[in-house]
């Protein structure tokens, strides 16, 4: 699956769970919990901060929305880390107790990207689980994982501000990979109105846990309407490739696992950064979302994705849910 949208496959299982909601109006809380409460930090409301801090944050909130505020200790001093949404962009503003701004960085900025890459580079491969104790004979091509429901006919559509599209469809067919009958999820991506890639991804669900496992993908890369390569294709059981865990049935904050285990071809791995994020998209608000931070030892890129229960993936970096499913 390509780096842009290899996770863009989680599809709706209905609008009765995790449907779009209006943000709470208490304490100025807004869009999304960026992550679970970290060790040593406390989530606070705006009116619970010192007057000087409150004045600074209110000034930064002109024409913006407050996502959340975390009270932390750094070098023996108390700081307040606030996440603010302004003109569709997320900013992290760190304020000292005296109201002075320690730092102010836009999410996805060069500084933040450099920090993410440095963190990924310093991580050990052993930090991510890559061996999964599962009876492959019990895996099913269909399933009801709340974030990746493998049910034929499900469709999910995402779009970025430039008009590029991502369309995901669970096909009514199967493929046997590494001795397992897998469901087929097709992804189509366009750029500037032209088809650039079609991938058919092979997933199998454990009916006992709803864990979804990834067994590989066929890839067609296009240019000017013609297939030019099959880069990123891999299959478990071939060329030392093994199946990975795409997403658990019940993700837990801090979980780390490999999704793809195809040496030198595809080695995607993720960390569960949140299980209760609140996220805004062009079609509305979603609560109790799972946030995944995706990296790979093959390159320094870092990707951030959000999944809403009962809906599926609603945000993949700059791609966002464009139509209500």
| Tens digits of pLDDT across the chain (325 residues) | 554 444 443 343 343 334 444 333 333 334 444 444 444 578 899 999 999 999 999 988 888 889 889 998 877 789 999 999 887 778 888 888 988 887 777 765 544 554 455 555 555 556 899 999 999 999 999 999 999 999 999 999 999 999 999 998 999 999 999 999 999 999 999 999 999 999 999 999 999 999 999 999 999 999 999 999 999 999 999 999 999 999 999 999 999 999 999 999 999 999 999 999 988 899 989 999 999 999 998 888 889 999 999 888 888 888 899 998 8
Distances (CA, A) of 60 to 25, 46, 91, 92, 237: 18, 12, 10, 11, 53
Note whether 116 and 51 are same-domain residues.
Answer: yes
Q: Is the dihedral of CA 65, 71, 75, 76 positive or negative?
A: positive
pTM over 0.75: no
Note whether 232 and 298 are same-domain residues.
Answer: yes
Q: How far apart are CA 261 and CA 242, in angstroms?
A: 5
**What 3-state class would DSSP assign to 140?**
strand
Domain endpoint, select from 122, 150, 166: 122
Residue at 153 is within a domain: yes
Note whether 202 and 157 are same-domain residues.
Answer: yes
Residue at 33 is within a domain: no
Residue at 19 is within a domain: no
Note whether 169 and 91 are same-domain residues.
Answer: no
Distances (CA, A) of 103 to 58, 83, 304: 16, 12, 22
Length of the chain: 325
Please state the φ and ψ torsions of residue 243, each to the nearest 5 degrees. -75, 150
Domain endpoint, select from 92, 122, 152: 122
Note whether 98 and 148 are same-domain residues.
Answer: no
Distances (CA, A) of 3 to 10, 249, 292, 316: 16, 23, 14, 10
Tokens of 151: 């049910």
Note whether 105 and 133 are same-domain residues.
Answer: no
Note whether 118 and 133 are same-domain residues.
Answer: no
Residue at 25 is within a domain: no
Please state the φ and ψ torsions of residue 226, each to the nearest 5 degrees. -120, 145
Residue at 177 is within a domain: yes
Residues 6+ apart with CB under 8 A from 239: 262, 263, 265
Full domain range(s) for residue 159: 126-321
Output the domain CATH number for residue 80: 3.10.450.360
Q: How far apart are CA 111 and CA 91, in angstroms?
A: 12
Which helix or strand (DSSP H or E) is residue 60 part of?
helix 51-60
Given a contact cutoff of 8 angstroms between Cβ atoms, the answer to whether 312 and 5 are in contact is no
Note whether 173 and 300 are same-domain residues.
Answer: yes
Domain endpoint, select from 122, 141, 164: 122
Note whether 275 and 295 are same-domain residues.
Answer: yes
- When divided into structural domains, the chain yields a total of 2
Q: What is the DSSP letter of 38?
A: P
């Amino acid at each position: 699956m390509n780096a842009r949208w290899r996770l863009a496959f989680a599809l709706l299982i209905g609008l009765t769970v995790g449907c779009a909601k209006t943000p709470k109006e208490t304490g100025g809380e807004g869009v999304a919990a960026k992550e679970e409460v970290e060790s040593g930090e406390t989530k606070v409301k705006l009116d619970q901060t010192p007057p000087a801090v409150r004045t600074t944050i209110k000034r930064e909130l002109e024409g913006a929305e407050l996502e959340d505020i975390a009270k932390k200790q750094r070098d023996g001093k108390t700081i307040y880390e606030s996440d603010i949404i302004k003109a569709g962009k997320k900013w992290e503003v760190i304020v000292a107790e005296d109201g002075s701004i320690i730092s102010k960085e836009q999410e996805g900025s060069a500084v933040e990207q450099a920090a993410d890459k440095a963190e990924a580079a310093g991580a050990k491969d052993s930090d991510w689980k890559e061996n999964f104790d599962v009876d492959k004979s019990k895996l099913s091509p269909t399933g009801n994982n709340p974030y990746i429901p493998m049910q034929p006919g499900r469709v999910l559509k995402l779009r970025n501000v430039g008009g590029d599209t991502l369309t995901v469809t669970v096909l009514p067919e199967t493929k046997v990979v590494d001795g397992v009958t897998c469901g087929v999820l097709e992804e189509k991506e366009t750029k500037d109105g032209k088809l650039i890639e079609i991938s058919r991804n092979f997933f199998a669900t454990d009916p006992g846990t709803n864990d979804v496992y990834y067994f590989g993908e066929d890839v067609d890369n296009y240019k000017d309407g013609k297939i030019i390569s099959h880069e990123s294709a891999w299959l478990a059981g071939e060329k030392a490739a093994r199946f990975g865990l795409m997403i658990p049935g019940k993700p837990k904050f801090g979980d780390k696992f490999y999704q793809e285990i195809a040496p030198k071809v595809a080695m995607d791995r993720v960390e569960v950064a949140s299980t209760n994020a609140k996220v805004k998209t062009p079609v509305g608000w979603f609560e109790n979302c799972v946030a995944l931070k995706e990296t790979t030892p093959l390159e320094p890129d870092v990707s951030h994705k959000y999944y809403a229960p009962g809906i599926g993936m609603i945000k993949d970096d700059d791609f966002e849910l464009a139509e209500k499913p």
